[in-house]
Amino acid sequence: MRWVAMLLPVVCTCGLLGAQAFTGCLASVQTAAAHGAAGRSSEAERELVRIIGEESGGNKLCLGIASADLAVLLQRQGDVKGAETYARQSIAALEQGGPDYEIALLRPLQVLAELYLSEQRFARAKEVLARLEHLPGSSPRDRAEQAGARALIDAGEGRWPDAERHYRASIAEWERSGEGDSMSVVPELTNLGLLYLNQRRLADAAPLLERARHIVDASREATDQMRLTALTNLGVLYVKQRQWGPAGELLQPALRIVDAGTRVDTMARRRFYETYAAVLRQSGQKREAKALQARAAALLPPDTSSMTVDAAELRSRR
């Protein structure tokens, strides 16, 4: 699964809309957002469900905003069906407000785009992206995310030149937004690097994967899985370059991340084991290589794609 557009935080967007006229609802949505920001997901969910129930026949703007925040919350929890249902409910409510509510459509449309991309429902994703691209007041950050999403669709449908163009456009927009050295740009750096890796354009892949690794290493936001993925991607590059020594130096410390038993999914573990086993075999450490290959085999069938990027650890980009 590719590393796709990242999960939204639960945030009240009412202030962007000049919505002071419904202070009571705004205050309630802000309370739910505060619960979400503090990690109290169950309290946030209960508050949002209550607001939606009370406003189902009333204020469509409030209903739309609360439904969008609940969609984001459910998306974060892995409830794909629920997230899609509330995102669609949000869009339906906001569309009744016409152009005045248009800016609030950003969040529920982003939820749908992310869900459809993660499920490779590319036709649906393209429809949503077309709407996002026509919303008023788009920022470099918005354009970066939309170009990255376009690139994922292009890659999924085998249009490699278009994917390359959109990945590069996304990276440029992240840089324009001042986030060229932040975790926000890592998915596009990684996916473009892996696209080049798949095409054996190793000289083009190297600076992208190195840059992604350095950003992840320096970030407090990065999870162990993100760190392992960045190291493994670079390890695959070194293997293809037949740089066995640097590959071993890079991957040996990464083994500690896997062995620590932290939250690293089976796909990331298996890909790391297979990459490191290949390095160890070339370095004459056949027994160690065999042990790692056995660990990989115990997880899942062999991975034959260097385009695999972990998507289990989705992070907030907003």
Structure tokens of 85? Answer: 């249902």
**Residue-level pLDDT at 85:** 95
Query: Three-state secondary structure along the chain?
Result: CCCCCCCCCCCCCHHHHCCHHHHHHHHHHHHHHHHHHCCCHHHHHHHHHHHHHHHCCCCHHHHHHHHHHHHHHHHHCCCHHHHHHHHHHHHHHHHCCHHHHHHHHHHHHHHHHHHHHHCCCHHHHHHHHHHHCCCCCCCHHHHHHHHHHHHHHHHHCCCHHHHHHHHHHHHHHHHHCCCCCCHHHHHHHHHHHHHHHHCCCHHHHHHHHHHHHHHHHHCCCCCHHHHHHHHHHHHHHHHHCCCHHHHHHHHHHHHHHHHCCCCCCHHHHHHHHHHHHHHHHHCCCHHHHHHHHHHHHHHCCCCCCCCCCCCCCCCCCC
Fold equal for 1-136 and 223-307: yes
User: What is the value of pTM for the model shown?
Assistant: 0.79
Domain residue extents for the chain? 1-136, 138-218, 223-307
Q: Which CATH superfamily is domain 138-218 in?
A: Tetratricopeptide repeat domain (1.25.40.10)
CA–CA separation, 145 and 148 (whole Å): 5
Taking only the tens place, the pLDDT of each residue in 153-184 is 999 999 999 999 999 999 999 999 999 999 99
Taking only the tens place, the pLDDT of each residue in 114-148 is 999 988 899 999 999 999 988 887 789 989 999 99
- Residue 30's pLDDT band, with cuts at 50, 70 and 90, is confident
Contact 211, 189 (CB under 8 A): yes
Contact 154, 166 (CB under 8 A): yes
- Residue 167, Cα to own-chain centre: how many angstroms? 14
Q: What CATH number was assigned to the domain covering residues 223-307? A: 1.25.40
Taking only the tens place, the pLDDT of each residue in 232-267 is 999 999 999 999 999 999 999 899 888 886 788 888
For the 1-136 domain, the top CATH level (class) is mainly alpha
Contact 97, 30 (CB under 8 A): no
Contact 188, 167 (CB under 8 A): yes
